[in-house]
Structure 1
Amino acid sequence: MARTISRRDFLALGALAGAGTVLSACGSPTPQVALGPALGDGYDGPPVTIEYWNGFTGGDGPAMRQLVEDFNNSQELITVRMNVVQWAQYYQRVIAAVHAGQGPDVGAMHVEQLATQAARQAISPLDDVVAEFGLSQDEYPAQVWEAGIYNGHRYGIPFDVHSLGSYTNLDLVEQAGLTATAATGEEFESNLQAMLDAGVATPFWMPNRWPAHLIFLSLLWQFGGEPYAADGSAATFDSDAGVQALTWMAEQVGKGFSPGNVAQDSQYTAFKNGEGAVTWDGIWQINDLASTAPDLRWSLAPLPTIGTEPAVWANSHHLVMFRTRRPDDDRLAATKTFVKYLVDNSDSWSAAGMIPARSAARQSPEFTGSPQAALSDAIGTMRFLPPIAAVGEVQVQTLETAVSNAVLGRDDPRSALRAAADQATAIMEGNLRKFERGEAA
């Protein structure tokens, strides 16, 4: 399924590929960007074409194509040319293009990449642009707004939020005589047991790979833990909270709620085929379910609170402006005009299955009538990774393997997490030295 693969590949392959690409460009001059002329009432310069890159290749693609088409049709002076690249290749290709002096003007970027690409001098600080737009924290959830800041400067303008959610097969739940969605761990286990007793085999499939580490992070936060030190100096996911989280995940197999050895994405495929009653996956699956499983009766709700406090892993697409060696006032003004248009019309982005980041957009009929509106009340519980450069690479090499080994029963949760945290800390210490010396620029 294209959408799932794109997110998965971004978190895994994309982060690793990006490192080598930018490091290989260290000898090039540092790209710079100018603020350009004030936006005023709109762009009034000569006709100009600007380049916009993103990775919206799945069910979110049509919504973005429509937004770009609407912008191009709304005025006659700016033409936005969009280049869509699978997230697996996006960060490698766009950053290489920037450092070769051939990068795009504007792009979409996962918030987990902002710190990395800011440290590698690929994207520009947007403090002045945000001030010019008149945007403020009051218009966004606090944690979404703050996630765009790295080293005291804003590098991204929040566009959306996308998190894990709990998908339920209504037919299988009703088969067990259940009607309510579980809100707590006790209710969730009781519901799963009731489904087992009613003949629903393995009602909750627990993956050992994607999105297993996202489930782990959600539960870690629920139990009061943090995955990394805020200053990027150490991994802390091997805390007691982490052990509790990973132990719970492994227990789902031991209790018979989940089959063993659930391969990557298999839990979602099983849900679409009516084999699993509940699955925890990203809201980016909404459009895929509508198009590929039209007869499936399902609902979406926030994850139940298994730990002591509600929390769920989330990510966010932010709009960024790339650095350039050859600043041009007309292109910069046109770029800002397009970015402002996307911000002002982000309610239309609800059609992508995403949650608009701007509060006003979440009041629109486009969002309130969408399936993901069921997660509105959970926005305050959505958590993001701290803004640590290259943290995605660290997770791929350490945390994801530890989670997989524990869920598969190859290692006990505490030992798996301790070994992975030691390895992650060593990598992070090296990253700190590397970025402090400027080797990643």
Structure 2
Amino acid sequence: MTRRRFLSATGALGAGTLLAACGGGSASPGSGSASGPAAEPAADTYDGPNVELEFWNGFTGGDGPYMQALVDAFNSEHENVNVRMTVMEWADYYSKLPAAVTSGRGPDVGIMHIDSLSTNAARNVIMPLDDVAAALDLNASDFAEAVWNAGEYAGQRYGIPLDVHPLGYFYNKQVLADAGLDPEDPPMDRDSYEAALEALKSAGVAGHWMSPHTFTGSMTLQSLIWQFGGSLFNDDGTEVTWDQDPAIEALTWMVDAINNDYSPSDVGQDADAIALQNGQTAFNWNGIWHINTLKEVSGLEWGVAPLPNIGGTQAAWAGSHNFVMTSQRRPDENKLDAARVFINWVSQQSLDWAEGGQVPARSSVRESAEFQELTEQAALAQQVDYLRFPPAVPGIGDAFADFDQALNEAVLLTKEPAKALSDAAARATKKLEENRDRYSE
């Protein structure tokens, strides 16, 4: 499927995405014939009887129509395979999927965020995909190390990476120019960033609105903790480390922005992003999905770049969509073979998927001239070697509720950063202990 055919299939598609929305061309390197055992079926063709595959995902934002166009194109090119896509909110997806699999009514193929793989693997909701990776001729050399490794749990692969979607640095060029700053040279280190915030303050602008919410405050805080040389957990995910000095310094930097009048004190959900669009602020750290949102705003002069290095170490939060195959009561070998073909085919179109606001997982695609023409996505792809993901520990997501609470308390000025982080770490530590017992049964 060529880019022209893809764009024709999507038509005049509106690509704006909501904040809660979250490799190459038609013959990507590393996606050809199987390299596994001789008995392993090929991943590029399916010659069996007609099958229908159920494909579930949570692409309810602007990325949804792009994936639907890919599914439609796949169906038109494969007479003996029909993929039926079901889309629901991510929260509903993750709550419904385990029950559907247990009852024997789960989908054949799904999309899962990388931080959910280990939990669902431990619950036997999804199946190991080492044989699928072999059939697709996938290997670590064509992926960023962090995203490839994060797809493994307990020595087996459970996710086939489709993309990464990192946090990025968006800036309003007109606001910068009005404050006497260079709109083509945004600040990229702590000293210049704080100097710019001071200049914007003098011009009557709160330059960086600090969000107390998961979108995008939690992602900002996580990025800052890593930049200051800290971490959220130890390497094996058995201990919480966000109450240590680097995390305190990172959260204090966010709170100081409020105390110094660089940010309002009570920023509502999504208000930071809206303020950038309305010319009320200069900087917004937001997800790559925000690119298409800003493209829809008529007359807005904006730019995007990798995150500024505030703490001294380059680092950025990122998520990743992975293909998964669910555990089946009565596995159908024909469906399993067809699912391999579908996953392989979509992976080969990941340059087209990037149009929806993603960075392809495959290095060979990110480095292609065609991807570099997607200048905004390519700008954020520069971060790929220092993106961070949580450790592959079942139930790790439970701890983030406490992390987000600490952020909320500190940024809303109801608790000092050190106290907020310490209290949250104590609660999260108990959850990690409980989960070790729960998932070891």
Give the TM-score, by structure 1 length: 0.89
Aligned CA RMSD, in angstroms, stands at 1.4
Q: Distance in 2 between matches of 1:356 and 1:137?
A: 14
Q: Report deviation, 1:263.
A: 1.5
1:56 corresponds to which letter in structure 2? Answer: F
* Residue 337 (structure 2) pairs with residue 322 (structure 1): no
Kindly provide the CA deviation profile for residues 172-215 of structure 1, in whole angstroms up to 9, marking residues without a partner as x: 11112222121211111111112222x24212111111221111
Q: Distance in 1 between matches of 2:81 and 2:92?
A: 27
Kindly provide the CA deviation profile for residues 363-414 of structure 1, in whole angstroms up to 9, marking residues without a partner as x: 3455222212112221112111111111112211x11011111111111111
* Residue 64 (structure 2) pairs with residue 61 (structure 1): yes
* Residue 367 (structure 2) pairs with residue 363 (structure 1): yes
Contact 1:172 1:200 in 2 (8 A): no
Counterpart of 1:307 (choices 307, 311, 319) is: 311
Aligned to 1:215: 220
Relative to structure 1, is the Cα distance of residues 311 and 40 closer, same or farther in structure 2, using a 3 angstrom cutoff?
A: closer
Aligned to 1:129: 132
Aligned to 2:392: 387
Aligned to 2:48: 45
Contact 1:351 1:366 in 2 (8 A): no
Q: Distance in 1 between matches of 2:89 and 2:257?
A: 33
Q: Distance in 1 between matches of 2:99 and 2:231?
A: 33
1:273 corresponds to which letter in structure 2? Answer: N
2:424 corresponds to which letter in structure 1? Answer: A
Counterpart of 2:110 (choices 98, 101, 107) is: 107
Aligned to 1:284: 289
Contact 1:48 1:78 in 2 (8 A): yes
Aligned to 1:372: 377
* Residue 138 (structure 2) pairs with residue 147 (structure 1): no
Kindly provide the CA deviation profile for residues 12-50 of structure 1, in whole angstroms up to 9, marking residues without a partner as x: xxxxxxxxxxxxxxxxxxxxxxxx961265100111110
Counterpart of 1:271 (choices 272, 276, 280) is: 276
* Residue 8 (structure 2) pairs with residue 5 (structure 1): no
Aligned to 2:238: 233
Contact 1:139 1:358 in 2 (8 A): yes
Q: Gaps spanning 5+ residues in structure 2: where?
A: 1-15, 23-38
Aligned to 2:432: 428
2:173 corresponds to which letter in structure 1? Answer: L
Q: Distance in 2 between matches of 1:201 and 1:42?
A: 57
Q: Report deviation, 1:295.
A: 1.7
Kindly provide the CA deviation profile for residues 46-96 of structure 1, in whole angstroms up to 9, marking residues without a partner as x: 111101111111011121111111111122111110001111211111221
Q: Report deviation, 1:269.
A: 1.5
1:82 corresponds to which letter in structure 2? Answer: M
Q: Distance in 1 between matches of 2:244 and 2:176?
A: 35
Contact 1:234 1:424 in 2 (8 A): no
1:337 corresponds to which letter in structure 2? Answer: V
Percent identity between the aligned chains?
41
Aligned to 2:34: none
Kindly provide the CA deviation profile for residues 78-118 of structure 1, in whole angstroms up to 9, marking residues without a partner as x: 11100011112111112211111100000111001001100
Kindly provide the CA deviation profile for residues 299-333 of structure 1, in whole angstroms up to 9, marking residues without a partner as x: 00111111121101111001111110011111111
Q: Gaps spanning 5+ residues in structure 1: where?
A: 8-35
2:162 corresponds to which letter in structure 1? Answer: F
Q: Distance in 1 between matches of 2:187 and 2:205?
A: 19
Q: Distance in 1 between matches of 2:213 and 2:117?
A: 24
2:19 corresponds to which letter in structure 1? Answer: T
Q: Distance in 1 between matches of 2:53 and 2:245?
A: 50
1:274 corresponds to which letter in structure 2? Answer: G
2:283 corresponds to which letter in structure 1? Answer: V
Which structure 1 residue ranges, 4+ long, deviate > 4 Å from structure 2? Answer: none
Q: Distance in 2 between matches of 1:319 and 1:169?
A: 35
Aligned to 1:185: 190
Counterpart of 2:357 (choices 339, 342, 353) is: 353
Counterpart of 1:341 (choices 326, 345, 355) is: 345
Provide the aligned length of Structure 1 versus Structure 2. Answer: 406
Q: Distance in 1 between matches of 2:186 and 2:207?
A: 14
Aligned to 1:12: none
Structural mapping, 1:388-407, within 5 Å: 388-396=393-401, 398-407=402-411
Aligned to 2:27: none
Structural mapping, 1:78-97, within 5 Å: 78-97=81-100
Aligned to 2:26: none
Counterpart of 2:179 (choices 172, 176, 180) is: 176
Relative to structure 1, is the Cα distance of residues 41 and 64 closer, same or farther in structure 2, using a 3 angstrom cutoff?
A: closer
Aligned to 2:250: 245
Structural mapping, 1:31-42, within 5 Å: 38-39=41-42, 41-42=44-45
Paired residue secondary structure (1:352): coil
Contact 2:54 2:83 in 1 (8 A): yes
Q: Distance in 1 between matches of 2:87 and 2:116?
A: 18
Contact 1:217 1:227 in 2 (8 A): yes
Q: Distance in 1 between matches of 2:20 and 2:229?
A: 30
Kindly provide the CA deviation profile for residues 205-244 of structure 1, in whole angstroms up to 9, marking residues without a partner as x: 1111122111111011111111012333221100101100
Paired residue secondary structure (2:310): coil
Paired residue secondary structure (1:164): strand
Q: Distance in 1 between matches of 2:308 and 2:83?
A: 42
